[in-house]
Amino acid sequence: MSNPKLQAVLDRIDADFDNSLERLFSLLRIKSISADPAFAGDCKAAAEHIAKDIATLGFAAEVRPTAGHPAIVAKANGSMDGRPHVLFYGHYDVQPVDPLDLWHRPPFEPVVTDHADGRKIIVARGAEDDKGQLMTFIEACRAWKQVAGSLPVDITILIEGEEEVGSKNFVPFLEANKAELKADFALVCDTGMWDPNTPAITTSLRGLVYDEVKIKAANRDLHSGVFGGGAQNPIRVLTRILGGLFDDNGRITIPGFYDGVKDLPPDVLEQWKKLNLTSETFLKPIGLSLPAGEKDRLLIEQISSRPTCDINGIVGGYIGEGSKTVIPSLASAKISFRLVEGQDPAKIRKAFRDYVTSRIPADCSVEFGDHSSAPAIALDWNMKPLAAARRALTEEWGKEAVLMGSGASIPIVADFKRTLGLDSLLVGFGLDDDNIHSPNEKYDLKSFHKGIRSWARILAALAERNP
């Protein structure tokens, strides 16, 4: 380490860590569930909470309305010509918390506790995704400001409140505020590490198509004693359609689904084989042992480079205690596809809907509901920031930072490129066992602490004129 200012910043981060944690807790206590309109007030409160906090760091911070939950735009420009200008992105909204009865503690009462294997963890909805992650960056800015009086680069912080529901209103907001959001590149903190001790930069992301299917049969619920055998049952229709989505080899059967999907280059496949991702390490911790994807693919391909389909929810008929001999009039399911390079989200959605529609009996009807859609992304990294960030991460963690593909989708990355012309650098500190979108979401205390230190180093590295 040749930068005495940076060392002072890192020392400050260590000394102030209990306060950093308390500030994260304050944010985690706000129930900012974007999917449920009942929590709109909480979303607004979260935005105001963050804007007020960032303002104390010298940012000109504003809570800005969108057609949905508000966004935050905060600028700290040093006005020094030639300094890099970064746009930092995160989101304050969180996933719904159901099934609530599987949480060991109330989801919005954060605590630090011990993981089964001894790791210290922060448990709460949003602990990782994305409140914990975005606070690593804000806390790094705070330490720089407090120690050095200013930030090493020009920064615009942009935080949205609808990432978990597809950013439908946020993308028009980007379009409408292009000029104001100009920067050299984006920093996105919503991804993970390779393992608890190995940092990573994510260089490819799967896309997403999320659809909803509602099948209607009779004009009312029926008694199976009177109508059973004669009347069509929409759950029967739905399960028959969904039950046919996969063949015996785990391949998706929708015509045209794999069109345009390329095999991995042989050298990448060789590299991935060496990473040795096995069922033992990847599936055993979640109680499984058999890779569920295409049988002729490696597990790492199944989760990173191959397109997938998951039924995320299904409901129809009587789901209470006991029994009811009903033939329901409605049944519905939520289905999503993870896409890879070469697949067009609009074509995939249409192919799925055609597949379903062609299997609906003549006297039943089907309705579809649009949710998110985003293409897959392969980032082209010949840019300076990648090397700088990789060096900074390697210094902080003492292990070479891995460049990896992610199975998840971060649609905003494509939106930044399209609307603002920005490439994104994806650095995050999540782990596969963080239970994001699930009960008992957690963030390793180490991820939070070393995440803050990592950003402090990355900001310093980005500021170096001749790295």
| Residues from 395 through 414 that contact a second copy (CB under 8 A) | 406-409
Asked if 21 is part of the footprint of a second copy (rule: CB under 8 A), the reply reads: no
**262 near a second copy, judged by CB under 8 A:** no
Residue of 312, 369, 356 whose CA lies nearest to 338: 312
For the CB of residue 45, give the shortest distance to a second copy in the complex, in Å.
20
What mask, x for binding a second copy by CB under 8 A, covers residues 51 to 80? ------------------------------
Question: What whole-number distance in Å separates Cα of residue 334 and Cα of residue 370?
Answer: 10
> Which of 8/35 has CB closer to a second copy?
35
- Regarding 251 and contact with a second copy (CB under 8 A), the answer is no
205, β-bridge pairs: 377, 406
| 70: three-class secondary structure by DSSP | coil
Size of the site for a second copy (CB under 8 A): 100
Task: Give the DSSP letter string of 374-408.
Answer: E--EE----SHHHHHHHHHHHHHHSSPPEEEEESS
204: which strand partners?
A: 378, 405
Residue of 4, 225, 265, 398 interacting with a second copy (CB under 8 A): 225
Question: Which residue of 227, 258, 368, 381 would you call a contact of a second copy, by CB under 8 A?
Answer: 227
Q: Which of residues 26-55 bind a second copy (CB under 8 A)?
A: 35-37
Residue type, 71: A
Q: Does 367 bind a second copy (CB under 8 A)?
A: no
CB of 202 to a second copy, least distance (A): 11
Q: Which is nearer to a second copy, 33 or 456 (CB)?
A: 33
> Which residue from 120, 399, 437, 446 is in contact with a second copy, where contact means CB under 8 A?
437
**Shortest separation between residue 209's beta carbon and a second copy, angstroms:** 11
Taking CB under 8 A as the criterion, the residue among 86, 135, 238, 348 binding a second copy is: 238
Question: Per-residue contact track with a second copy, 98 to 127, x per CB under 8 A?
Answer: xx--x-------------------------
**Token pair 């393992």 in the structure block, residue:** 195
Binding a second copy (rule: CB under 8 A), the pick from 2, 79, 276, 323 is 323
11/384 Cα distance (integer angstroms):
27
- DSSP letter for each residue of 103-137: -SS-TTS-EEEE-TTS-EEEESTTTTTTHHHHHHH
Q: Which uninterrupted H or E stretch holds 215?
A: strand 207-216
As a whole number of Å, the CA-based R_g of the chain is: 24
Distances (CA, A) of 54 to 63, 64, 76: 11, 14, 10
Dihedral sign for Cα atoms in the order 381, 170, 128, 457: positive
- For residues 342 to 361, the per-residue mask of contacts with a second copy, x marking binding by CB under 8 A and - elsewhere, is -------------------x
At 230, which amino acid appears? Answer: G
Signed CA dihedral, 413, 124, 44, 169: sign only: positive
Select the residue interacting with a second copy from 10, 30, 327, 458 (CB under 8 A). Answer: 327
The residue range among 3-11, 46-54, 86-94, 428-436 that interacts with a second copy, by the rule CB under 8 A, is: 428-436
- Residues 277-296 within binding reach of a second copy (CB under 8 A): 282-283, 286-293
Look up residue 80 and give its amino acid. M
Q: What DSSP letter does each residue of 294-305 carry, written as one string?
A: -TTS-HHHHHHT
**Contact positions with a second copy (CB under 8 A) in 195-224:** 206, 208, 210, 212, 217-224
Q: Which two tokens stand for residue 332?
A: 């519905």
Q: CA–CA separation, 231 vs 222, rounded Å?
A: 9
Does 438 help bind a second copy (rule: CB under 8 A)?
Answer: yes
**Among residues 24 and 340, whose Cβ is nearest to a second copy?**
340
Binding mask 127-166 for a second copy (x = CB under 8 A): -------------------------------------xxx
Considering only the stretches 176-184, 195-203, 308-316, 343-351, report the one whose residues sit in contact with a second copy under the rule CB under 8 A.
Answer: 308-316
The one among 9, 94, 245, 427 contacting a second copy by CB under 8 A = 245
CA dihedral 387, 374, 107, 430 (to 10 degrees): -20
Q: Which of 23, 48, 96, 111 binds a second copy (CB under 8 A)?
A: 96
Least CB distance from residue 200 to a second copy, whole Å?
13
Query: Which member of 188, 436, 456, 458 binds a second copy (CB under 8 A)?
Result: 436
What backbone phi and psi angles, to 5 degrees, belong to 191?
Answer: -125, -170
Identify the bridge partners of residue 336 per DSSP, sorted by sequence position.
210, 310
- C-alpha count within 13 angstroms, C-beta hemisphere, residue 189: 30
90 binds a second copy (CB under 8 A): no
Q: Which of 85, 353, 371, 384 binds a second copy (CB under 8 A)?
A: 371
| Distance (Å) of CA 108 to CA 21, 36, 57, 413, 441 | 15, 15, 26, 29, 11
Residue from 4, 82, 149, 320 in contact with a second copy (CB under 8 A):
320
